């Protein structure tokens, strides 16, 4: 009897333990379901999102590859055009260099011609000054000759009704020579200059407001050394006083 009771108690105890284990297993199963199912759902969602990202990345890479291929073709065409333009530019630059060299040669010739023109103009100016001085001397000589001739024939003038008894000194040139004739008042005639008449004295004519020309300088043209200034005799109008 005692053995049967012990056996029954043991069975009841085992049943209770099995029930507790079953309850614990059910609770553990529920907890696992609450963890695994949401995790699987999240993994599924993340897998779909990852697939979408990979698909988008693949599409973008494909479009980028197409764009690069198009750019490569355009770049090839543009590089060909640029190469042609650069060749034309190189040809034009060569022509420009030739033109510049020609212009440089022409400018050199123009400079030489300009120097020759300056030299010629200087000679022309000197010749003009000489002509002015010669004309002034001719005027003085004509006036002196007129006075010299009219003096012995003045008695005939008294018999004429249009006689003129006035005797004025030589007034000098009404157009004075250029200022350059006054630039070198200290110049003297050359020592080896030969002349037939004595040197006149540079004195202004009486009663005249015009000044005499102190000196005359000539320039001679030389093809080798250019223009050279040499001294000429001291030219001046003498003072003439008519009483």
- In a domain, residue 10? The reply is yes
- In a domain, residue 11? The reply is yes
Please indicate whether residue 78 or residue 233 has the higher confidence score (pLDDT).
78
Strands 228-231 and 217-220: antiparallel
pLDDT band at residue 45 under the 50/70/90 scheme: very high
Q: Residues 236, 212: contact at Cβ < 8 Å?
A: yes
- Residues spanned by the domain of 7: 1-56
Predicted pLDDT of residue 121: 93
- Pairwise CA distance, residues 39 & 64, whole Å: 36
Q: Tens of pLDDT along 11-43?
A: 888 888 888 888 888 888 888 878 888 888 899
Predicted pLDDT of residue 72: 84
Please indicate whether residue 58 or residue 175 has the higher confidence score (pLDDT).
58
- In a domain, residue 24? The reply is yes
The tokens describing 41, both together, are 């759902």
Q: Tens of pLDDT along 184-207?
A: 444 444 444 344 434 444 444 444
Counting the structural domains of the chain, the total is: 1
Contacts 24+ apart (CB under 8 A), 225-228: 226/119, 227/119, 227/122, 227/123, 227/126
Q: Residues 187, 217: contact at Cβ < 8 Å?
A: yes
- In a domain, residue 101? The reply is no
217 strand-pairing partners: 231
Predicted pLDDT of residue 217: 36
Q: Tens of pLDDT along 80-130?
A: 888 888 988 998 998 899 898 889 888 988 988 999 999 999 999 999 988
The proportion of the chain whose per-residue pLDDT surpasses 90, expressed as a percent, equals 14
- In a domain, residue 213? The reply is no
- In a domain, residue 13? The reply is yes
- In a domain, residue 80? The reply is no
- In a domain, residue 203? The reply is no
Please indicate whether residue 212 or residue 130 has the higher confidence score (pLDDT).
130
Predicted pLDDT of residue 173: 57
pLDDT over 60 (residue 213): no
pLDDT over 60 (residue 211): no
Distant-in-sequence, close-in-space partners of 135: CB < 8 Å, separation ≥ 6: 173
């Amino acid at each position: 009897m005692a053995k049967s009771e012990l056996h029954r108690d043991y069975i009841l105890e085992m049943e209770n333990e099995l029930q507790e284990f079953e309850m614990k297993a059910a609770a553990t199963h529920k907890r696992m379901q609450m963890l695994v199912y949401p995790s699987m759902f999240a993994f599924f969602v993340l897998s779909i999102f990852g697939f979408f990202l990979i698909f988008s990345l693949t599409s973008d890479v494909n479009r980028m590859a197409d764009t690069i291929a198009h750019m490569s073709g355009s770049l090839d065409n543009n590089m060909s055009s640029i190469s042609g333009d650069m060749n034309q530019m190189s040809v034009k630059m060569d022509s420009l260099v030739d033109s510049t060299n020609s212009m440089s040669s022409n400018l050199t010739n123009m400079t030489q011609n300009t120097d020759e023109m300056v030299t010629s103009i200087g000679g022309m100016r000197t010749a003009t000054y000489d002509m002015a001085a010669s004309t002034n001397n001719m005027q003085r000589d004509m006036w002196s000759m007129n006075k010299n001739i009219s003096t012995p024939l003045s008695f005939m003038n008294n018999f004429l009704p249009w006689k003129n008894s006035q005797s004025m000194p030589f007034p000098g040139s009404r157009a004075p020579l250029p200022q350059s004739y006054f630039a070198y008042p200290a110049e003297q005639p050359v020592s080896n200059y030969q002349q037939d008449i004595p040197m006149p004295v540079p004195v202004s004519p009486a009663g005249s407001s015009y000044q005499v020309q102190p000196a005359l300088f000539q320039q001679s043209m030389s093809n080798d050394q250019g223009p050279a200034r040499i001294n000429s005799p001291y030219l001046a109008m003498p003072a003439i006083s008519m009483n």
